[in-house]
Structure 1
Amino acid sequence: MSLYHLARDGDAEGIRELLLESDSTAVRVRSAKLLGEVADEEDTESVETLVSVSVTDDEDEVRAAAVEGLDQLGSKAVEQLLVKITGSKIQEGADWATAKKFANALSSEVPELRMAAASALGKLGETSAVPALVDALTDENPNVRIRACAALSQLDHPKAVPALIERLSDPNGEVRMEAAVTLASIGTDQALAALLDMLDDSNTAIRRIAASSLGEAGSVSAVQPLADALADPSSAVRSAAVFSIIELLSNAPTQQSHQIRDTVVSELQNSDSATVQPLVEILDESTQTRQQRNAAWFLGRVVDEPTDKTIGVLVDALESDDNSTAQFAATSLSEIGGEPVEDELLDFVDDESNDEEARAKAVYVLGQIGGQRSADKIQQLTEDDSKQVRKRAFAAVSKFRGRQ
């Protein structure tokens, strides 16, 4: 059975077998990571397997993936790795005392132990660990540097900012990215200034990292620079800027969201499909309601020539569990209009297996944009089994008469 099916079925035992027996490094790496997602901290067999693999596997990347799997399971699982390597039990007590023991492990000769220690220090939330993690930012092993950046993000302490800025020029791309995300999360003036400077860099990869990471910023001051990045010559940078703008807007205070929307809409209207496509992906794939709402709202205001995919995700969003997302999708479909939208909505209202409230919203849109075909269909729907659909159909009939 494939790893995909094992993960889908939550088969931790099957994943453990592949992790221990596969000759493929790639399979073992993926198995270690998936085991951390599928199992839990109480699954002692999975924890013990990951601990063993993290110190015995021949490949560095497999050992690193095993540590990542333990990290997914939680601090107790990571602690077992530390106990395994150091041979001493970390005693329960005050956080500062525990943090000191983890910090001591950052000087271990074993890189996997240093990785585990960095992850654990982040989870402890003890700011006394900041100096040790700052030192770890110069570790010879890039995986340790990545973990140190991530841990500092959790501790959210401004004293780490200068050292993190230095990591923006790290030779390892993942380290640069993690450092940028951490700086955005900390969000001091110094941290944001460093990231905003990166948006003007001549290197496309660096501009993309900056655009991606600024979505984590807690300040709306990043919105205008990100809006400016929508004119970047690289589609990858423009796409990253869209994702970050939606993230910022989703987390912005209500009183600031209108200002952000106005700024972004004016910029997105002048952009190409490289900035529209991320909005489609957010609406289609995001699990965060506020992101979906914003993506649904923006699409109606920035799309001139919709693709079948764009129309499809908006129609699907009519059935969203979040009423605001469904309403924004209906409004956007009305804004876009055109025969392709009408075709899709006529098929949608014809299918009585669709949610009746969603069908009612579709009828509303057809009343706004439809032609004679829609008028004929809506007249039929005045006798639909659904009370909501009938009510909306009668309103749409009146609208058609008014338009005529």
Structure 2
Amino acid sequence: MSLYQYAREGNVERLRDALGSDSAAVRKRALELLGELADENDQASIDAIMRAAMGDADEQVRGAAVDALDAIGPDAVEQFLAEVTGSKRSEADWVTAERFARALGAERPELRMAAANALGRLGEPSTLPAVVEALSDPDPRVRLRACQACGAFADPRAIPALIERLEDDPRVRRAAANALGGIATDRALDPLIDLLDDADESIRRIAASALGKANNPRPVEPLARALGDESAIVRNAAVYSVIELLSNVPTKHSHDVRDRVVSELKAADDETVVEPLVEILTQGRQTRQRRNAAWILGRVAEPDSEVAVAALADALADDDAQTAQFAATSLRSLGGTTVETELLGRLDSEHPDDVRAKAVFVLGAIGGQETLNRIEELTNDESKAVRKRAFSAVSKLRAGGV
């Protein structure tokens, strides 16, 4: 039976047995699964993981053991540190944090790794200088976890040292980029702009994802270039960040950014842009981002894009009135047969009156003879809002020569 099957069954005993395997890869994977399955009451697993952290012949396995203890919880990490240092565990948090900070200077790299993990979790401000210093540790496994801890602190004081780690081992570079993205000040994000051209796909994705947090329009054009990235995950991250940037940028920059965003997105491949915009509109949880997605779709999607039109038509029923209004104006901007057909299907009484009224409003601007015939029937609708829109739409369509 495989380790995966043992994990599915919750068989931690078999996973502990796998720690005696001759294969380092098997031992490492068993530790990763134990970290996911065991809890702080599973002392047998914690003891087995601590033995691996202190005695396994393979450094990657020892590192996996440290991370497994961290995944189980703070008590497991403290047990490990107490076991190695001989310290007491019944201390105030700040005392514990100071002890962990001292452990960053320990001879055993596994102890330094565990200390960095623990300090990131505790977040005691007084220990940040020690964590920043650990970014220069001779062991890349320690530097990796120090980067992750700095990301948890999200303190701008770590920025210069994190920037230096962008030239490090690949895993450390990724952790440093993630940490800078978590700090998210303009000073932290600026170095990530250059990483959009990095050879490492993961680095490009991290940079693209983080740059949407900027408070200035500088990342717009670099993110727009990333819309042509060979990697789909990088392109997707870039679209999300462009929308986030538009949502977060200060008001004084908003008009400039909005114009540049539309210009750059129009120049990109339609499928690359439309799919994530539709996902933001239909599944997003942040109102401002969904509003912007609804607004931009009307300016960058093709009029015959069925997925965009359907998403905008669905958004006519959105709980947020401004999102619904942006969806209506975007449908009007797109126009065409696809929009007309979609909205004619929204006129039936099974749809909410406000949706029907918005559909009539759009159809009054884009419809043809079939639309005119259908809307004329609605001048006797039971809904006052629908009737009002219907009379106005009929008038516009006739005035337009329909």
After TM superposition, is the score higher than 0.5? Answer: yes
**Partner Cα separation in structure 2 for residue 319 and residue 187 of structure 1:** 35
Q: How far did 1:27 drift? A: 11
Q: How far did 1:383 drift? A: 3.3
Code of the residue aligned with 1:18 in structure 2: it is G
| Corresponding position of 1:241 | 238
Q: How far did 1:266 drift? A: 0.9
| Corresponding position of 1:379 | 376
Code of the residue aligned with 1:153 in structure 2: it is G
Question: Are positions 1:89 and 2:89 aligned together?
Answer: yes
Code of the residue aligned with 1:159 in structure 2: it is R
List aligned pairs for 1:67-146, cutoff 5 A: 78-85=73-80, 86=82, 88-92=88-92, 95=94, 97-104=95-102, 106=104, 111=110, 117-137=115-135, 138=137, 140=139, 142=141, 145=143
Match of 1:355 among 326, 345, 352: 352
List aligned pairs for 1:151-190, cutoff 5 A: 151-173=149-171, 175-187=172-184
Code of the residue aligned with 1:292 in structure 2: it is R
**Partner Cα separation in structure 2 for residue 385 and residue 107 of structure 1:** 78
Code of the residue aligned with 1:335 in structure 2: it is S
Q: How far did 1:151 drift? A: 3.0
Q: Is the 8 A contact 2:302 2:334 kept in 1?
A: yes
Partner SS state of residue 382, structure 1: helix
Q: How far did 1:289 drift? A: 1.4
Q: Is the 8 A contact 1:51 1:80 kept in 2?
A: no
| Corresponding position of 2:281 | 283
| Corresponding position of 2:219 | 222
**Partner Cα separation in structure 2 for residue 241 and residue 399 of structure 1:** 40
Partner SS state of residue 244, structure 1: helix
Q: 1:182 to 1:244 in 2, by over 3 A?
A: same
Question: Are positions 1:148 and 2:134 aligned together?
Answer: no
**Partner Cα separation in structure 2 for residue 92 and residue 16 of structure 1:** 38
* TM-score relative to the length of structure 2: 0.75
Partner SS state of residue 348, structure 1: coil
| Corresponding position of 2:10 | 18
**Partner Cα separation in structure 1 for residue 34 and residue 383 of structure 2:** 49
Code of the residue aligned with 2:394 in structure 1: it is V
* TM-score relative to the length of structure 1: 0.74
List aligned pairs for 1:4-43, cutoff 5 A: 18=10, 20=12
Q: Is the 8 A contact 1:230 1:267 kept in 2?
A: no
| Corresponding position of 1:43 | none
**Partner Cα separation in structure 2 for residue 314 and residue 381 of structure 1:** 22
Q: 1:163 to 1:383 in 2, by over 3 A?
A: same
Q: Is the 8 A contact 1:230 1:241 kept in 2?
A: yes
| Corresponding position of 1:12 | none
| Corresponding position of 1:3 | none
| Corresponding position of 1:345 | 343
Code of the residue aligned with 1:395 in structure 2: it is S
Partner SS state of residue 40, structure 2: helix
Code of the residue aligned with 1:79 in structure 2: it is P
**Partner Cα separation in structure 1 for residue 334 and residue 138 of structure 2:** 53
Code of the residue aligned with 1:91 in structure 2: it is E
Q: Is the 8 A contact 2:34 2:45 kept in 1?
A: no
- Which digits, 9 at most, give the CA deviation of each residue in 1:297-316, with x for residues without a partner? 11111112543322222222
Q: Is the 8 A contact 2:189 2:210 kept in 1?
A: no
Code of the residue aligned with 1:221 in structure 2: it is R
| Corresponding position of 2:208 | 211
Range 332-341 or range 223-232, more displaced: 223-232
| Structure number with bigger Rg | 2
Range 270-279 or range 380-389, more displaced: 380-389
| Corresponding position of 2:268 | 271
Q: How far did 1:281 drift? A: 2.0
Q: 1:89 to 1:206 in 2, by over 3 A?
A: closer
| Corresponding position of 1:199 | 196
Gaps of 5+ in 2: 1-6, 19-25, 53-60
Identity %: 48
**Partner Cα separation in structure 1 for residue 365 and residue 331 of structure 2:** 10
Alpha-carbon RMSD across the aligned residues, in angstroms, is 3.8
Q: 1:339 to 1:198 in 2, by over 3 A?
A: same
**Partner Cα separation in structure 1 for residue 342 and residue 125 of structure 2:** 55
| Corresponding position of 1:38 | none
| Corresponding position of 1:74 | none
Q: How far did 1:247 drift? A: 1.6
- Which digits, 9 at most, give the CA deviation of each residue in 1:102-125, with x for residues without a partner? 4345567585x7666545534544
**Partner Cα separation in structure 1 for residue 282 and residue 45 of structure 2:** 37
Q: 1:55 to 1:296 in 2, by over 3 A?
A: farther
Q: How far did 1:339 drift? A: 1.4
Code of the residue aligned with 1:344 in structure 2: it is E
- Which digits, 9 at most, give the CA deviation of each residue in 1:42-69, with x for residues without a partner? xxxx853578756646888986776675
Code of the residue aligned with 2:265 in structure 1: it is L
Q: Is the 8 A contact 1:364 1:393 kept in 2?
A: yes
| Corresponding position of 2:365 | 368
Q: Is the 8 A contact 2:32 2:64 kept in 1?
A: yes
| Corresponding position of 1:303 | 301
Q: How far did 1:290 drift? A: 1.4
| Corresponding position of 2:331 | 333
Figure out how many residues of one structure are paired with residues of the other and give that number: 366
